[in-house]
Each structure stands twice: as C-alpha cells, then as structure tokens.
C-alpha cells in the first residue's frame, strides 16, 4: 500500500507548540507530513525562511516522518507537485473558521482533487498564535511553554534581551 502524505502549509513565523500538537496528531492519521512554508516576502516575517526551516528541523529532529519545505505560488499546485491531495490545517477559535473556510473553498475551486481537512486545536493552544506570541515576546513577555525552548531563545535574541 502506498504511504499517504499530507501537506501542512503555513507561515510558521515561528513554529509554536500549537503547530507541533497538530503535527503529532496528523501523524496518527497520515504516514508522512510535509511542513510547507509559504515564501511570501510581502508578509515581512520576523524570521527569515532559513531561520524558520532551521528551527523546525531542530524542534522536530526526532520526527522521521516529517519533511520541511518552502513553496511559492498556489498551494494546490504545490500539493499536486508533491504527489498527494490532502492539506491539513489546525482550527482554533471561531474567528479562524471564516478565513479557513474561505481558503478551503478557494483551493477547492482551483483544484477539486485537493481536499482540506481540519483538526481542532488542543484547548491548551486555543488562544495562541505566532502573531500574538511575537507581540508578547517583543514586549519582554515570557512565552516559554507556548513555543519550544529553542524558539523561545531565538525570540529573545531577535528582540535583544
């Protein structure tokens, strides 16, 4: 039987414990998972693509079933290029739903072969996002426990404390 690969796309600026929870749960359903980081300089990420990839590799070094990659252009084209047809995303609060629903429907319009599936986030990560974690960290807030220790360290370095 061929192994089933799922694509987990996002910005991952930086990876959080919420992402890691989705990844480990997705691996209970799929054989392999590809973390696909959108290369979008317009978003002005805090961490460069290289930094994001390096942090993810470090954090997930024990996970033999995860690959990290970057992509440009349409997600559905990337998915097909990876010879699969499934995208996974995590869902937190109700506020995520509208955005995710819109993206899933647009992706479906662009390519009906590509299926989007969603995992509800663990309640522990319900209120966290890369954006809010960066904001707290930029103001000197303690974000340990919300991101892996290496990410915590990199955030401190970025914000100079």
Residues forming the active site:
19, 43, 92, 130
CA distances from 149 to 15, 61, 99, 113 (A): 11, 14, 30, 38
Residue number, 2 or 78, with CB nearest to ligand PNS? 78
Q: How far is the CB of 132 from ligand PNS (least distance, A)?
A: 13
Asked if residue 74 binds ligand PNS (CB under 6 A), the reply is yes
Percent of the chain as helix, strand, coil, to the nearest 5:
45, 20, 35
Q: How far is the CB of 77 from ligand PNS (least distance, A)?
A: 8
Residue number, 50 or 62, with CB nearest to ligand PNS? 50
Q: How far is the CB of 106 from ligand PNS (least distance, A)?
A: 4
Query: Cis (ω within 30 of 0) for the bond into 151?
Result: no
Q: How far is the CB of 50 from ligand PNS (least distance, A)?
A: 18
**Closest to 103 (Cα-Cα) out of 6, 5, 34, 9:** 9
Q: Which residues on neighbouring strands pair with residue 99, listed in sequence order?
A: none
Task: Tell me the C-alpha distance between 63 and 60, whole Å.
Answer: 5
Cα-to-chain-centroid distance, residue 64: 17
Q: Which of residues 99-138 bind ligand PNS (CB under 6 A)?
A: 103, 106-107
Q: Which of residues 38-57 bind ligand PNS (CB under 6 A)?
A: 38
For ligand PNS, the binding residues (CB under 6 A) are: 9-11, 38, 74-75, 103, 106-107
């Amino acid at each position: 039987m061929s192994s089933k690969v799922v694509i987990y796309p996002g910005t991952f600026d930086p990876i959080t414990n919420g992402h890691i929870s989705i990844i480990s749960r997705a691996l209970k359903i799929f054989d392999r998972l590809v973390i696909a980081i959108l290369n979008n300089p317009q978003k002005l990420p805090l961490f460069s693509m290289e930094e994001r990839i390096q942090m993810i590799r470090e954090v997930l070094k024990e996970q033999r079933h995860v690959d990290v990659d970057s992509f440009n252009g349409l997600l559905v084209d990337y998915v097909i290029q990876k010879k699969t047809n499934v995208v996974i995303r995590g869902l937190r609060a109700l506020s995520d739903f509208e955005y995710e629903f819109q993206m899933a429907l647009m992706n479906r319009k662009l390519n009906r072969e590509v299926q989007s599936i969603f995992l509800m986030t663990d309640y522990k990560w319900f209120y966290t996002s890369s954006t809010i974690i960066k904001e707290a960290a930029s103001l000197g807030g303690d974000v340990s426990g919300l991101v892996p220790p290496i990410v915590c360290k990199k955030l401190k370095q970025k914000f100079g404390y």
